[in-house]
Amino acid sequence: MRSLLLALATGCLLALPSLPVSAQDAPATAETTLPAAPASASLTGLAAVLAANAEAIAKPSRQTIGPVIAEIGAAGAGAPEFLEAWADRRVGQRKDGAFFLIAKSADGWDLTDPASGQPAGTAPKSEITELKPNSGVRGLIASALVEFQLSDPDPAKRRAALEALARNGGPEHIEPLRAAIDNEPDATIRAQKERLEGLLTIRYGSSTERRVAAISQFGSDLGLDLRGAINPLLATTRKAFTGAPEGNLAAELTPGKGDFDAEAAYALLVAQGLAPARLTRTALRSALESHVENGMVGGIPVAELDDPKLRDAAYTALEAAGTVPPAATDDEVAAAVAAHRYADIYAEPDASVTDAARGALKGIEIKVGAMQVADLALDALSLGSIYFLAAIGLAITFGVMRVINMAHGEFITMGAYTGYVVQTWISDYTTSILVALPLAFAVTFGAGVAMERLVIRHLYKRPLETLLATFGISIALQQIFKNVFGTQARPLTSPAWLDGAWTLNDVVSISYIRIAIFVLALIFLAVFLFIMTRTRLGLEVRAVTQNPSMAASMGINPDRINMLTFGLGSGIAGIAGVAIGLFAKVTSELGSDYIVQSFMTVVVGGVGNIWGTLAGATLIGSLQKGIEWFNPSNTLAAQTYMILFIIVFIQFRPRGIIALKGRAAGD
């Protein structure tokens, strides 16, 4: 106890680690509490800093605590732990003024010496005052902690520190960040540090040379964070000047040119206090009427006040006499506007920095434009693959059999609902999709064969009756879907590995689901080509397509081929429904959203030709995305323009992009 009394006598506010304070000792300590005194010269490091700033730490203010936090941060051993505990409200002050890291215990608080990190006994809750800094102080503490976290052995903490700096970095973090780069062992984190250091230098650097070099080192980088750092440098403020414009001039303005008219110029003068508010017509009339004396207003006869110039002159005379408040008449407005100069001034005062920023932003804009074109092309390719997948089945039935199947969209819907039903049975999404694809083909293949046997085969070479019959079947199937599954959208969830998107940069990205649909479309193209060129069924289908009579005379059964062809086309539509349902709403109207595009794809590409279908899908997808890019707020208009374009296109190429040749072309 002798050493403790000596420490208190010399003004020490920290308990010595060699003398722990127990709960039984606490009352005696309270009784011997001494007034705060200057820190002992024998204290060093964190202990000395805490002792010297005890009052500020106990009652911190965001406006004044900054230097104290900085001093604590530079105190050495124990400083990071103390700051972190302070921000987490795990610091307490004992009645004798000493600070401890505190943790709840059964008897009160377990105490830890902040300087040494050693246990310092326990204390009852009545002896300890918890420090609860507000959010502003905690923000300052967090900024100070970044310096330590940037070099923390834990990579997760270093990454968290970089994320915090990316959100709230300031000029005070530049040097600690630079110091933490050289010793960074992780190449990825090192690159993040270097990038962030460059961004902070651009925004807050004190050296023009370094800021310009930092802008140059990024080149035409497409990162949003870079544009977020450069754009504020090029922000401008519009100002009026009595003489030559002052500051970093972006552009000098002339009233009456461009979007800067005389009214805007005078409003700027009023806002800056360089001119009085403009006199309105109502205020002018009211002022003149209230100051008529002996048939005169401001020395001008009332009978002459129908002249606008004389009315202004009368009000000016009243202003000079002090009988009306100052206000600008039309002639005064014109004179004031002409007497001043106007300019847009950069918020960044350094012209070298704004020149570099302007050049970098121009390069970025060019690259962004190129990337937007690439992104648009990817979107068009993705949409084209969806249309191809939806139309490939129709290309088989319509192209080979010349049957206008208006129920083709409902086979797409049937496939999507098959996928939904499978997912209600199988909870694993990957397995359910693998099961749903062949099952959807089987279900829709069977439905297609049944439809062909019961309806279509009786209507061959009667296109109008076929159209009406399949349209009626389409309506009936939609109603069946509503009765079975309801009118609300049903979920068809993609596997986790299809979540997210492939991202090239901040401009170009495409979802993994669309990539999967594109791959699926290529697979179906390959399978179709294999069937048509390498199998007996394909040979027979081509024979029936080119000359049914000759094929029948060679022993081929056209009736059987038509049935299998219709079933194959319907089955492929079912698989397309599963793929489309992964990103579209599965409702009874799902198929109707794609039936028109499917027919357009087949007709534009060339009836009866799979390569034509592929070309048609690519053209329609590109055309729709291109029109939507020019008019993104109105997709209905985009579809309307697309249909008009296709109508014109068919006038010049009625057989499509890739037309059939030979005898089949004339059928």
Q: Is residue 355 part of a domain?
A: no
d(CA 576, CA 601): 15
**Dihedral, CA atoms, 405, 406, 412, 418, nearest 10 degrees?**
-90
**pLDDT attached to residue 300:** 82
Give the residue among 580, 570, 594, 568 at the shortest CA–CA distance from 416: 580
What's the CA gap between 325 and 13, in Å, rounded? Answer: 66
Q: Which residue has the higher pLDDT, 41 or 629?
A: 629
**132 and 166 share a domain?**
no
Average pLDDT, the chain: 82
Residue 12 lies in a domain: yes
Residue with tokens 């208009």: 637
664 has a pLDDT exceeding 70: no
Residue 338 lies in a domain: yes
Long-range contacts of 66-72 (CB under 8 A, 24+ apart): 66/140, 69/140, 69/141, 69/144, 70/144, 72/46, 72/144
Assess contact for 79 and 88: CB atoms under 8 A: no
Residues 562 and 660 in one domain: yes
In a domain, 494, yes or no: no
If pLDDT is split at 50, 70 and 90, which confidence band does 35 have? very low
**What is residue 632's predicted lDDT score, i.e. its pLDDT?**
66
Say what percent of the chain tops pLDDT 90: 16
pLDDT band at 355 (very low <50, low <70, confident <90, very high): very high
- Any domain includes 354: no
Contact partners, residue 330, CB within 8 Å, separation at least 6: 308, 312
| Whether residue 121 is found in the same domain as residue 21 | yes
Give the Cα-Cα-Cα angle 405, 409, 411 (nearest 5 degrees): 90
- Residue 28 pLDDT more than 70? no
Q: Map 335-376 to HEC letters.
A: HHHHCCEEEEEECCCCHHHHHHHHHHHHHHHHHHHHHHHHHH
Assigned token pair, 198: 């460059």
608 and 477 both lie in a single domain = yes
Type of residue found at 165: L
Question: Has residue 479 got a pLDDT over 90?
Answer: yes
- Residue 92 — φ and ψ, nearest 5°? -130, 155
Across 314-326, average pLDDT: 79
> Of 83-92, 162-171, 438-447, 570-579, which gets the smallest average pLDDT?
162-171
Nearest 5°: CA angle at 202, between 197 and 208? 115
Give residue 10's pLDDT.
36
pLDDT at 39 over 50: no
216-233 per-position pLDDT tens digit: 988 878 888 888 889 999
Task: Give, in order, the Cα–Cα distances in Å from 180 to each of 149, 161, 191, 226, 608.
Answer: 10, 12, 12, 21, 66
Which residues make Cβ contacts (< 8 Å) with residue 404, sequence separation at least 6?
398, 463, 466, 467, 470
Distances (CA, A) of 8 to 16, 40, 110, 118, 434: 11, 10, 21, 20, 77
> Is pLDDT at 420 greater than 90 in this prediction?
yes
Q: Is the domain of 25 the same as that of 63?
A: yes
Asked whether residue 630 is domain-assigned, the answer is yes
Q: Which domain holds residue 109?
A: 2-139
406 and 257 in a single domain? The answer is no
Query: What band does 11 get if pLDDT is binned at 50, 70 and 90?
Result: very low
Q: Give tens-digit pLDDT for 236-254.
A: 999 999 989 999 999 999 9
How far is the C-alpha of 53 from the C-alpha of 22, rounded, in Å? 26
CA distances from 10 to 5, 17, 40, 135, 268 (A): 9, 17, 6, 35, 64
- Give the whole-angstrom CA distance, residue 214 versus residue 201: 7
Lowest mean pLDDT among 79-83, 109-113, 308-312: 308-312
Which residues, including other chains, have CB under 8 Å from residue 402's CB and lie 6 or more apart? 463, 667
Among 71, 106, 139, give the residue marking a domain's end.
Answer: 139
Instruction: Evaluate whether 174 touches 197 at the Cβ level (below 8 Å).
Output: yes
Q: 163 and 121, same structural domain?
A: no
| Residue 29 domain-assigned (yes or no) | yes
d(CA 264, CA 616): 53
- Based on the domain organization, do 621 and 638 belong to the same domain? yes
Banded pLDDT at 32 (limits 50, 70, 90): very low
Taking the chain, what is the end-to-end CA distance rounded to the nearest angstrom?
113
b/e burial code for range 550-586 (CB count within 10 A of at least 16 → b): ebeeeebebeebbbbbbbbbbbbbbbbbbbbbbebeb
Closest C-alpha to 165, from 176, 181, 153: 176
Q: Which amino acid is at 19?
A: L
Say how far residue 215 (Cα) sits from the centre of its chain.
24
Choosing from 234, 264, 292, the residue where a domain stops is 234
pLDDT at 598 over 70: yes
Please tell me whether residues 109 and 158 are part of one structural domain: no
* Same domain for 528 and 392: yes
The pLDDT assigned to 314 comes to: 82
- Surface-to-core class of residue 116, CB atoms within 10 Å of its CB (0-12 exposed, 13-18 middle, 19+ buried): middle
Last residue of a domain, one of 183, 218, 234: 234
Domain count, the chain: 4
**pLDDT surpasses 50 at 8:** no
Quote the tokens at residue 535: 């199998």
Bigger pLDDT: 55 or 402? 55
Mean pLDDT of 479-485: 92
* Residues 189, 313 within the same domain: no
Q: Which residue has the higher pLDDT, 86 or 147?
A: 86
- Average pLDDT for 459-467: 83
Task: Give a yes or no: residue 429 inside a domain.
Answer: yes
The band of 606, judged by pLDDT with boundaries at 50, 70 and 90, is: confident
**CA angle in degrees (0–180, nearest 5) for 42-48-50:** 150
Identify which of 132-136, 303-307, 351-355, 604-608 has the greatest average pLDDT: 351-355
Rounded distance between C-alpha atoms, residue 566 and residue 445, angstroms: 8
pLDDT of residue 661: 56
Structure tokens that stand for 650 in this block = 């068919």
Residue 500: per-residue pLDDT: 81
- In angstroms, the CA 430 to CA 495 distance is 5
**pLDDT confidence of residue 42:** 62
Q: Are residues 259 and 390 in the same domain?
A: no
Can you tell me the distance from the alpha carbon of 602 to that of 16, in angstroms, rounded to the nearest whole number?
A: 88
pLDDT band at 69 (very low <50, low <70, confident <90, very high): confident
